[in-house]
Structure 1
Amino acid sequence: MAYTRREKNNWALFLLLLAGIVLGSFFGELAEGSTYFNWLNYGGTFGMNTPFNLNLGVILLEFKIAFDITIASLLGIAIAIFVYRKI
């Protein structure tokens, strides 16, 4: 039999990365008050500090995007990529 390469699903990668980010951030928040694991919540916020306002007269739109990157969320992303490569 010939070996056929199985195509990996991009949606699976997206969902695994999203789960890794959410779970990593969750564990980082849990570790915030811990004595030994408080380093997991170390990180920074990147993005716009003030929202961009678009006043159209009838409707006012505000746009803001910010990323809160912590060590725990980076570990979650690394674990998600590892799991994706194994499936």
Structure 2
Amino acid sequence: MSKGIAGKNNWALFLLLLAGIVLGGFIGSLAAGVPFLSWLNYGQTFGFANPIVLDLGILVITFGLSIKITIASIIGVLIAIIIYRFL
């Protein structure tokens, strides 16, 4: 008996999406030097340009976030979703 999408593990989806983003970003950065594959590294970076520093005297905490979304990472996410649907 099939459980369908509602019965699947959400952690598995999260880990597959994370793996798709990481592997897609890695493939995009590798393809940046190849002329006919350089379009895979095309994307947008957003986040904090300068990290936010919280100085509490004896403790210094630095907050920073930067996200780069590329064509390859989007393809990686789509492949992860397809894999999840067939599990």
2:32 maps to 1:32: yes
Deviation at 1:29, TM superposition (A): 1.0
SS at match of 1:73: helix
Aligned length: 85
Q: Specify the alignment match of 1:9 in structure 2.
A: 9
Deviation at 1:5, TM superposition (A): 2.5
AA of the residue aligned to 2:48: M
AA of the residue aligned to 1:66: S
The runs of at least 4 aligned residues of structure 1 exceeding 6 Å deviation read: none
Q: Which runs of 5+ in 2 are unaligned?
A: none
TM-score, normalised relative to structure 1: 0.91
AA of the residue aligned to 1:42: Y
SS at match of 1:25: helix
Larger Cα-atom Rg:
1
Identity rate, percent:
54
CA distance in 2, matches of 1:42, 1:80: 20
1:23-80 deviations in whole A, cap 9, x for unaligned?
Answer: 1011101110111110000011111111111110001111001101110001000110
TM-score, normalised relative to structure 2: 0.91
Cα RMSD between the aligned structures?
A: 1.2
